């Protein structure tokens, strides 16, 4: 569980370890769920943290690929077949993720994790209102946080290009959450971006209350959102994406520009992937 003070982390040291594929199935169009049996990482990983996956043993692709963990099941979980497993939900976008779609049950994969700093929860005890905003596959990065904070009131905004890009709705329905959906072509829910959707519901969020907002999605979405949540009653964090060379802080390849005066370029893999909205330089 995330600690009550500051960052989610209690930083656990990352492992480099093999896991076994237990499942790899298409859920819709270009979205897949990959299940990996890997108890050490499944036991420790916190919402918002990620793993680096070596997709193939040869050099194609050469680098590992970063993925958030969507669901995890500790070793004492009642469902025996899920014990010690972690699940990632991935979108097929290029060479590496294409190769991932061919992974078969039983295949051994090398993983590094848990990596990065996860979401910082609201201070305890809390009756805080939580807003989750996910664009496209970004919603899977915030889902574990919702699961961990199911006792609080959750407002969930899910957006995508078309209805085929809307993920996790069934998952959120099982939680104590109010769900809003948007698609850019209007094929499901509100027509527009998830940021437009959020703005359309802005009146729910009154100035006299504090809202803890957690977002993940493409950079343009986060940037648009950043301009709309400057008021003080939003305590907002974003999980960022960047191309990664290593994932554990060694190469400085994954940086993002922040408002830090001495070291403006901070590592998404090490100082992030979750940053406070106000620390990022959005221009």
Ligand X SMILES: Cc1cc2nc3c(=O)[nH]c(=O)nc-3n(C[C@H](O)[C@H](O)[C@H](O)COP(=O)(O)O)c2cc1C
- Closest to 70 measured CA to CA, from 33, 40, 107: 33
- Closest to 96 measured CA to CA, from 150, 149, 54, 152: 54
The stretch near ligand FAD (CB under 6 A) out of 33-41, 165-173, 239-247, 258-266 is 239-247
The stretch near another protein (CB under 8 A) out of 26-34, 72-80, 123-131, 253-261 is 253-261
The stretch near ligand FAD (CB under 6 A) out of 95-103, 124-132, 157-165, 171-179 is 95-103
CB of 164 to another protein, least distance (A): 21
CA distance 207 to 232: 9
Q: Is 2 in the site for ligand FAD (CB under 6 A)?
A: no
Residues 215-274 that bind ligand X (CB under 6 A): 245, 251, 253
Query: How many chain residues bind another protein (CB under 8 A)?
Result: 33
Q: Is 132 in the site for ligand FAD (CB under 6 A)?
A: no
61 is in the binding site of which of ligand X, ligand FAD, ligand FES, none (Cβ under 5 to 8 A by kind)? ligand FAD
Q: Which is nearer to ligand X, 108 or 250 (CB)?
A: 250
Q: Is 143 in the site for ligand FAD (CB under 6 A)?
A: no
Secondary structure of residue 254 in the 3-state scheme? coil
Query: Which position among 56, 148, 251, 282 is part of the footprint of ligand FES (CB under 6 A)?
Result: 251
Query: Which position among 162, 250, 259, 276 is part of the footprint of another protein (CB under 8 A)?
Result: 250
Token pair for 225: 């959102």
Secondary structure of residue 4 in the 3-state scheme? coil
Buried b (16+ CB within 10 A) or exposed e, 208-227: eeebbbbbbbeeebbebbbe
Beta strands in the chain (DSSP E): 15-28, 31-37, 50-54, 65-68, 71-73, 85-91, 108-115, 129-135, 153-160, 177-183, 190-191, 211-216, 234-239, 255-257, 265-267, 274-276
Q: How many CB atoms lie within 10 A of CB 205?
A: 18
Q: Which value, in Å, is the radius of gyration of the alpha carbons in the chain?
A: 18
Q: Is 63 in the site for ligand FES (CB under 6 A)?
A: no
Environment class of 163 (CB within 10 Å of its CB; exposed 0-12, middle 13-18, buried 19+) = middle
Q: Which is nearer to ligand FAD, 122 or 273 (CB)?
A: 273
Q: Is 61 in the site for ligand X (CB under 6 A)?
A: no
Residues near ligand FAD (CB under 6 A) are 50, 61, 65-68, 88-91, 93-97, 137, 140-141, 241-244, 273
Residues near ligand X (CB under 6 A) are 245, 251, 253
């Amino acid at each position: 569980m995330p600690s009550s003070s500051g960052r989610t982390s209690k930083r656990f040291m990352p492992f480099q370890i093999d896991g076994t594929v237990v499942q790899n199935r298409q859920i819709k169009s270009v979205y897949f769920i990959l299940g990996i049996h890997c108890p050490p990482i499944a036991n420790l990983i916190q919402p918002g943290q990620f793993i680096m996956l070596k997709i193939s043993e040869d050099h194609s692709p050469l680098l590992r690929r970063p993925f958030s963990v969507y669901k995890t099941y500790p070793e004492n979980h009642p469902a025996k077949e899920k014990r010690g497993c972690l699940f990632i939900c991935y979108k097929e976008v290029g060479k590496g993720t294409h190769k991932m779609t061919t992974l078969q049950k039983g295949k051994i994969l090398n993983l590094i994790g848990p990596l990065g700093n996860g979401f910082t929860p609201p201070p305890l005890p809390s009756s805080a209102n939580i807003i989750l905003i996910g664009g496209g596959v970004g919603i899977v990065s915030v889902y574990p946080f919702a699961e961990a904070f199911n006792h609080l009131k959750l407002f969930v905004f899910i957006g995508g290009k078309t209805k085929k890009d809307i993920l996790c709705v069934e998952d959120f329905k099982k939680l104590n959450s109010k769900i809003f959906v948007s698609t850019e072509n209007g094929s499901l829910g509100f027509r527009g971006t998830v940021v437009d959707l959020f703005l359309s519901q802005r009146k729910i969020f009154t100035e006299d209350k504090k809202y803890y907002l957690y977002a993940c999605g493409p950079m343009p979405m986060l940037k648009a959102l950043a301009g709309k949540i400057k008021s003080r009653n939003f305590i907002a964090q974003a999980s960022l994406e960047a191309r990664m060379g290593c994932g554990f802080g060694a190469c400085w390849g994954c940086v993002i520009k922040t408002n830090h005066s001495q070291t403006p370029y901070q590592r998404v893999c090490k100082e992030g992937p979750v940053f406070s909205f106000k620390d990022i330089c959005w221009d």
